[in-house]
Structure formats: C-alpha cells, structure tokens
A and B are shown apart, each in its own frame.
Chain A
Amino acid sequence: MTSETDHSPGAHGLGEAVAARIERRWATLSIVIIGVLVGLAAFFGIYHTTMPQGRVETADPTTLHLSGEFVESNLGSVLEVDGSVTVRAIGQQYSFTPQCLVVPAETPITIRATSADVVHGFLIEGTNINTMLVPGYVSDLPISFKAPGEHMMPCQEFCGIGHQGMWGKVKVVDQTTFRNMAASKRRLTCVD
C-alpha cells in the first residue's frame, strides 16, 4: 500500500503502520490458504488421476440408433479382454437405455454415454459418479464400485416435463457372478 498518512486516529493507539502490517499478514495468510486449496486439487489430480474427461468426442444424436457403438444391441456392459468392463448407455427423454445397468464390483469400469436429444445428467446415488450427457458429444469416465449393491440412477439435469420420472438403476454384482453372466451374453443389462 502506498497510501500516505494525513492524520492519525491516535485515540485508540492504532497507528497506520500497525494497521497496514496486520492487513498484510492477513493478505499473506489468505494467499497461502488459496495456494494450499489449489495445490490440493492439483495433487489429487496427479496422484489419484481424478481429472475431468481427457478427450472430447462427438456423436450425432439423431443417428445413434442407425450405426456405431450406441445402437440398441450394443448398449450395456461388456467384459473386455484386459478384464475391465465397458458400459455403453444413452440418455433420452425420459429414460436411460439400458434402464438398469449391471456391473461387477472392484473392477475398473469405463462408462461411455451420450444423449439422443437434450441435455441429461448421469448420477449414481451413493457414489461420486456424476457427469453430464450433452447431445453431440460422448461422455467417457472411469469408475469403479467397492461392493455389490443397488443404486438409483436419476437424471440430474432438467430435460423436459417428464424429467422427474427419469430414474434408472445400477446393480453391482460380485466379479464371479458377472463373469458367469458375461459368458452367456455379449452385452449385459439387468432389464427384465
């Protein structure tokens, strides 16, 4: 601060120099706090490789059902040769297809999803799995589940008048069960 004194308050003995020093200390502390917070974000980004989606991919929402990876028969979970699982899904007014996802616990999973019409949100309750489905683009995110169980999967973005009815499900099963299921079918879902 380069301001100059033209009068001193005197009465309570707080000189301008003291005031400026305290202020500077606080400002320094604030900068340190922010530095630590930003550093933490970078740290977790590096050591847990939890970063936003690394690549941008496009997809035409009007022709998803004609060809490519989002045709109806290709949606659902697939066991890859490296032991990981890929789940393909789409969001549309007002459901996810598949309506019920089945995945193994303790397995690296890649979700690949997109929207066939408007913006939808992909949220699995009780986890930190949460992303947007924007028509025209493919969302791709790595996830995993610790334990078997069932989760609700609501659309978390306003997508039209039926938005409140857009709830899907995720069924997490143990690895053996999943492998047995995968042996008999190429694309797995838990839709009855």
Chain B
Amino acid sequence: MSEDELYSPRNPWFSISVGVTAAIAVLSAIVGLIWLPLLQPNLKLAGIWDAICSAAGVPNLPRPAAAVPPAFKTSNVVVTPEMLTRQDQVSIGRGATLAQRCAICHGPQGVSDANSPNLAGQYAAVTYKELNDFKTGARVNVVMSPFAANMADQDMRDVALYYAYLPRVPSSQVNPNLPAPAIVVTGAPMRNIPPCGSCHGEIDIKAGSPWLGGQSAVYIKAQLQAFASGTRRNDISEQMRNIARQMTAEEIDQVARYYEAQP
C-alpha cells in the first residue's frame, strides 16, 4: 500500500476514521448547538439562529434590569492595580506645594502624632482615592471634606504622588518585639477574615488598600469600628466592611495596637 492510497475514499482506514470523526462532530454540534438550547425554557430563545448564537457563546448585551440605586454616596473611583504607580517629578513637585496646607494635621513630612493618618510613603492610589471620596461625599469628615471639596482631580493626583514619594518614617511607637496577633497573621478564615498583609502590603497589595504600619492606634480602631457599624461605606463593594464587621472588639484593639508599633 502506498501513501497515495491512504488519502483515498477507497481506503477504509481513511474513510472510516474521517467519516466517524466528522459524524461525531456534526452530530454533537447539532445536539449541543441547536437541540439542547431549544429545550431550555429559561433561555427564552427567539428561534434557531438565536439558539446557535447563544450556544456558540456570542456575548449578549447586559440585560437592562432595574437596579436599586444606593441610598448613600458610594465611591466612584475606578481603582486598578497600575493606578498611580509611576513616579512623576512634575507631579510630585506640584504635590509638595499643595501639601503645605495638609501639614497642620498630617505633619510637614507626612508624619504626625495627632492621630491623623501618616501619609509619608502611603500608596498613591490610596491617598488619591480617599481624597476623591471626601470630595464626592462617599467618605465624610468635618476637617477633610471641606479641604477636598475644592481640589481638582489633578491636585489630588499630585498630592497623592508627593506623599507616596516621601520616605516612611518610623513612628515614635515602634516596637519590633510586639508579637503579631493571630488575627493579623492568619485572620479567621471561616469568618471571612484573610490575613491583613494579603492586601495591606506586608505580603501582597490589593490596589486601594493602605499601608498600615505606624498609623495611630486610635485612628485604625476608629476606622475599623466605622466600617463594622456601617458609618463608613466608601470601600468599594463592601470589601473592608465585610471584614471589619466579622471582627471582635478585642481583635480590633489587637490590630490597632499591632500596626501602630510597626515601622
């Protein structure tokens, strides 16, 4: 038998293998693309062509469902991992000028002992998002809200990049000997509490999550309590409220004290 004869309908190996393969493909295509979809009432198909398209995976436009609008302001910042991760000298320079009015509370070098958050070395995406949320009212604070209200989008980016550029300064409370509590290291898996560090930077970063080391315990505790009670709701899709409301008062205390003592 020569090669020529193999690719000939007269060769049973050729005709049977190609025929069987094609038959299975065609049959399964008819069943999978036409018959089975038409049998499913919940698909509400508009005919055979619609059946084929949807079973083949042609995307449908999202259904215009009437969504319940939020009863409160939610954050409208689109946070992406690469957001504000590039240094920009011009922006940092402008940010330095703008940041002078922040120094009263946040310290001239972005570090303060006044229980307001330290901003030096904070991820730019975090500072930018919080400023934005203060401006839109998604987050409310008597001091911050008026400041943010007058800031342009570029101002917020500049300030955020400037603070990200400043080196983190260890707070006066640093205590490297303080052991990490279980709630920080492992969280409580069955209560939907992951390790803090899986988002906040010690292990990995989730965009929009702040660096916590050196922040005042009073501030951390107040924010966790606000997330837990729902008085602070600018975390996108409840990502932090889900965690805080599962934490016990004692765990909130432990976390606050631990992070205050970290560099």
Contacts and interface: CB of A to CB of B under 8 A. Distances in A.
Contacts of A68: 62, 67
Contacts of B39: 45-46, 49
Given A45-B36, A71-B70, A94 B62 contact: no
A98 B237 CA distance: 9
Contacts of A99: 192, 238, 242, 246
The interface size bin for chain A is 35 or more
Contacts of B80: 62
Nearest to A67: B67
Interface string A71-84: 11111000000000
A162 B184 CA distance: 12
A55 B67 CA distance: 21
A59, A161, A165, A192, most chain B CB atoms within 10 A: A165
A92 B58 contact: no
A161 B204 contact: yes
Interface residues of B, number: 54
A64 to B, nearest CB: 7
A99 B35 CA distance: 38
Contacts of A92: 237, 239
B54 A97 contact: no
Given A95-B238, A162-B199, A186 B68 contact: yes
A42 B79 CA distance: 44
A117 B199 CA distance: 13
Interface string B22-44: 00000000010001110111110
Given A57-B60, A65-B236, A165 B194 contact: yes
B192 A167 contact: yes
A160 interface: yes
B208 to A, nearest CB: 11
Contact of A165 (B65, B187, B238): B187
A151 B171 CA distance: 44
B50 to A, nearest CB: 10
A30 interface: no
Given A46-B39, A71-B70, A166-B194, A57 B204 contact: no
A93 interface: yes
A56 B188 contact: no
A168 B192 contact: yes
Interface in B159-208: 186-195, 197-199, 203-204, 206
A58 B37 CA distance: 20
A69 interface: yes
6 tightest A-B CB contacts, nearest first:
A162-B194, A165-B194, A162-B198, A73-B70, A161-B198, A95-B242
Interface of B: 31, 35-37, 39-43, 54-55, 57-63, 65, 67-71, 74-76, 78-80, 186-195, 197-199, 203-204, 206, 236-239, 242-243, 245-246
17 contacts: A57-B62, A57-B63, A62-B78, A65-B74, A71-B70, A71-B74, A72-B238, A73-B71, A90-B237, A93-B206, A95-B238, A97-B239, A99-B192, A117-B206, A161-B198, A165-B189, A166-B194
Given A54-B37, A71-B69, 11 more contacts: A54-B40, A54-B54, A55-B60, A57-B63, A64-B237, A65-B236, A73-B71, A90-B237, A95-B192, A161-B195, A161-B198
